[in-house]
């Protein structure tokens, strides 16, 4: 049996391959902008129920994530993830679900029994975290205030070198309009 349409089939493969190849070529020529966090500089994450602001570690690089609600900072092999979600109705249940969500994103975490305190009335729990893809370990905290919940994860490849979470937690602030809206 003679096979026909070989040229057309090759053309389709090339066109389909372009779906991934085109953006990959663009990505290779567009460098990731380096955004260095200034000393004392406040950053913020918007979520439908309100904006949460905080002070990220100075001199760390802020990464582009492409996701609203998430900020990532790096310094060498250390990384710091901050994520804001809202619509929380049951804080304990939501905290457990945030751990599960972290696990789905590749960070396995478990509460260590310690309470987490943070600025502006945010309270919650401390946890430990492992990211096997980067062979990193570290600490984390999940804190909440009203409907907003913030997850902060600090990872590093060397034990004990991770960034301290507490300064960032202490700097947390829920935007005024979010608080007004809830009252």
16 forms part of the interface with other proteins (CB under 8 A): yes
180 forms part of the interface with other proteins (CB under 8 A): no
Q: What does the alpha-carbon distance between residue 113 and residue 131 come to, in Å, rounded to a whole number?
A: 20
Q: How many CB atoms lie within 10 A of CB 125?
A: 21
Number of residues that bind other proteins (CB under 8 A): 46
Among 61, 101, 117, 161, binds other proteins (CB under 8 A): 101
Among 61, 97, 120, 130, binds other proteins (CB under 8 A): 97
Structure tokens at 48: 């439908």
> Which x/- pattern over 48-77 shows residues binding other proteins (rule: CB under 8 A)?
x-------------x-xxxxx---------
Give me the torsion for CA of 68, 162, 146, 171, rounded to 10°. Answer: -90
24 forms part of the interface with other proteins (CB under 8 A): yes
Structure tokens at 131: 């990211």
What size, in residues, is the chain?
183
From the CB of 93, what's the least distance to other proteins, in Å?
A: 7
From the CB of 53, what's the least distance to other proteins, in Å?
A: 14
> Nearer Cβ to other proteins, position 91 or 165?
91
Residues 28 to 47: which contact other proteins by CB under 8 A? 30-33, 35
Q: What does the alpha-carbon distance between residue 141 and residue 126 come to, in Å, rounded to a whole number?
A: 4
Phi, psi of 29, deg, nearest 5: -100, -15
Burial 131-166 (b: 16+ CB within 10 A, else e): beeeebbbbbbbbbbbbbbbbbbbbbbeeeebbebe
Span of 87-95, 112-120, 133-141, 175-183 interacting with other proteins by CB under 8 A: 87-95
Q: What does the alpha-carbon distance between residue 180 and residue 183 come to, in Å, rounded to a whole number?
A: 5
Q: Are 43 and 53 in contact (CB under 8 A)?
A: yes
133 forms part of the interface with other proteins (CB under 8 A): no
**Residues in contact with other proteins by the rule CB under 8 A:** 1-6, 8-9, 12-13, 15-16, 18-20, 22-24, 26-27, 30-33, 35, 48, 62, 64-68, 85-90, 93-94, 97-98, 100-101, 104, 149
């Amino acid at each position: 049996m003679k096979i026909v349409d070989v040229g057309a089939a090759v053309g389709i493969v090339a066109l389909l391959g372009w779906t991934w190849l085109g953006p990959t070529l663009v990505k290779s020529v567009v460098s990731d902008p380096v955004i260095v966090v200034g000393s004392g500089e406040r950053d913020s994450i918007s979520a439908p129920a309100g904006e949460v602001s905080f002070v990220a570690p100075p001199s760390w690089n802020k990464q582009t994530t492409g996701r609203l609600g998430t900020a990532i900072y790096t310094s060498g092999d250390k990384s710091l993830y901050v994520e804001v979600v809202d619509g929380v109705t049951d804080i304990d249940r939501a905290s457990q679900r945030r751990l599960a969500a972290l696990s789905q994103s590749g960070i396995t975490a478990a509460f260590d029994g310690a309470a987490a305190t943070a600025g502006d009335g945010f309270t919650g729990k401390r946890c430990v975290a492992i990211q096997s893809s980067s062979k990193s370990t570290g600490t984390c905290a999940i804190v909440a205030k009203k409907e907003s919940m913030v997850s902060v994860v600090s990872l590093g490849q060397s034990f004990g070198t991770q960034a301290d979470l507490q300064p960032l937690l202490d700097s947390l602030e829920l935007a005024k309009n979010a608080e007004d809206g809830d009252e």
